[in-house]
Amino acid sequence: MKMADHILVVDDDEQMQFMLSEALAARGFEVEVAESAERALDLLAQRPFDVVLLDIRLEGMSGLEALPRILARDPHLPVVMMTGHSSRQAAIEAIEAGAYDFFEKPFKIEELTIVLRRALERRRLTIENIQLRDRFTFENIIGESGAMQAVLRLVQKVLSTDVTVLICGESGTGKELIAQAIHYNSPRADKPFVRLNCVAIPETLLESELFGHERGAFTGAVARRPGKFELANGGTIFLDEIGDMSLHTQAKILRVLQEREFERVGGSETIKIDVRIVAATNKDLAKAVEEGSFREDLYYRLNVFSINLPPLRDRKEDIPLLVGHFVQHNARYLGKPLAGLTAEAMNILLAYDWPGNVRELENYIQRAAVMAEDELIGPECLPPHLLTFKPRVEEEPELEPGKSLDEMLEGLERKLIRAALQRTGGVQSRAARLLGITERSLWHRIKKLGIDVESIKAGILAPHAPPRAAASDLPSETTSERLG
């Protein structure tokens, strides 16, 4: 169960103390009150707090005098200043001295609550980065295979630079782990590492998530909110699954890469940033550029230094090492005396093709560790489908004497497209989804290969007619395709 966040309110006005204590406690915070800066410093020396609400005008030591002392004890403790209208300039000075934010009295408790939660999120992020810094050394990236050693050599080359990195690989291969290793072994290691999964955020919210928003920018925007780029200033932002980002948002990311500046949603102030961008994707971005779903200019901006992670099926010699690591981790977590796997269980893992890659292996070892009753994990602890898995035997490709490679590939492409059209009754949008390409790309391929869609719809295997496409036959472009 998560403990309540602990807030220290520092104000010499008893009415303000009572109002803040009651209002914040009703919103789930644990609140403690200090009537002076001196008392606040005593409390901070005795126990930890998550946020300090500090009035600027206090009897004795002022809030401005107390601020550097508070930050000296804990540089990552967010301090929100409270001020009357007459001391607004002092509050601005406090921001410059390291305060997180300030509020003018009287203020709305709902707006203060939102800022407090943002301050807590920033503190959480900062502490997490400090804790993670020592975890993401190269010793913690497991892999002695030639493929992984080649990846690590590339990572070593890019550490001391500030260039943009594009990490490519199937889902579950460890792209975020590599991104974290790049950050925590770089000169930016003591600055934030901020991650964003582009496919996990609805498109309508992604721009606000990236760039932040001003109060009133849209319904529900009751206070200014910094975005991920702003939070990552000085450090690294990791944009995972960037291949799923819309063309509209791609254009805005391109500007940040080029100009190192942006505006919050609903704002006019240009914000300058110093951020390193590491992006990742499980898609073929070069193919996406060709199909019009990814901007070519952004692709070349991102692809300054690319790292391709091999799938687990291509580095099976690393499976015993990974298994050992996951078994040890789960033994500690579960409090079990687990020593490893039996030879039979290990052979089952080595025979499997791992479509989910390292993430899938980690999940199966966790399950096996829960199931295990002995020191050695046996086959009975593994998921049933692993026990019945039969490796796929690849057929030898059929060579056609007298035909070039391009001609043979064109023939294979024609067969696959015709098969997809036959399976979908000639509906090109469904066939395109089946083939994993855009409808526009499928249209071009059909015309290039001279495939008669109407004959397929009618169930007639007609000979391939030569392309007869007129300009008017081309499906109209959407706005996003024109941008691409």
Among left, alpha and beta (phi > 0; psi -120 to 50; other), residue 165 is: beta
* CATH topology classification for 313-387: Helicase, Ruva Protein; domain 3 (1.10.8)
| Angle of helix 88-96 versus helix 63-73 axis, rounded to 10 | 20
- Taking a C-beta distance cutoff of 8 angstroms, is the pair 59, 31 a contact? no
Look up the CATH number of domain 6-131. Answer: 3.40.50.2300
* CATH topology classification for 135-140+153-308: Rossmann fold (3.40.50)
- Residue ranges per structural domain of the chain: 6-131, 135-140+153-308, 313-387, 405-483
Fold match, 313-387 / 405-483: no
In this prediction the pTM is: 0.59
Superfamily of domain 405-483, CATH level 4: Homeodomain-like (1.10.10.60)
- Taking a C-beta distance cutoff of 8 angstroms, is the pair 81, 101 a contact? yes
Tokens, residue 73: 């004890």
Torsion of CA 116, 218, 126, 110, to 10 degrees: 10
The answer for residues whose C-beta is within 8 angstroms of residue 168's C-beta and 6 or more apart is 175, 280, 281, 282, 285, 306, 307, 308, 309
The answer for residues whose C-beta is within 8 angstroms of residue 64's C-beta and 6 or more apart is 56, 90, 93, 94, 97
Query: Residue 423 CB: number of other CB atoms within 10 A?
Result: 12
Q: Report which of 313, 284, 309 is spatially closest to residue 299, judged by C-alpha positions.
A: 284
Give 320-328 contacts, CB < 8 A, sequence gap 24+. Answer: 320/346, 321/142, 321/143, 321/144, 322/142, 322/143, 322/358, 322/361, 322/362, 323/349, 323/361, 323/365, 325/142, 326/361, 326/362, 326/365, 326/366, 326/369, 327/365, 327/369, 327/377
Per-residue pLDDT tens, the chain, 484 aa: give them. 457 899 999 999 999 999 999 999 999 999 999 999 999 999 999 989 999 999 998 989 999 999 999 998 888 899 999 987 666 778 778 888 889 988 888 888 998 999 899 889 888 877 776 665 555 556 568 888 989 999 999 999 999 999 999 999 999 999 999 999 999 889 998 899 999 999 888 888 899 999 999 888 887 777 788 899 999 999 999 999 999 999 999 999 999 999 999 999 998 889 999 999 999 999 999 999 998 999 999 999 999 999 999 999 999 999 999 999 999 999 999 999 999 999 999 999 999 999 999 999 999 999 999 999 999 999 999 999 999 888 766 566 677 787 888 888 888 888 899 888 888 778 888 888 888 888 888 988 998 888 988 877 776 444 444 444 443 344 444 333 333 3
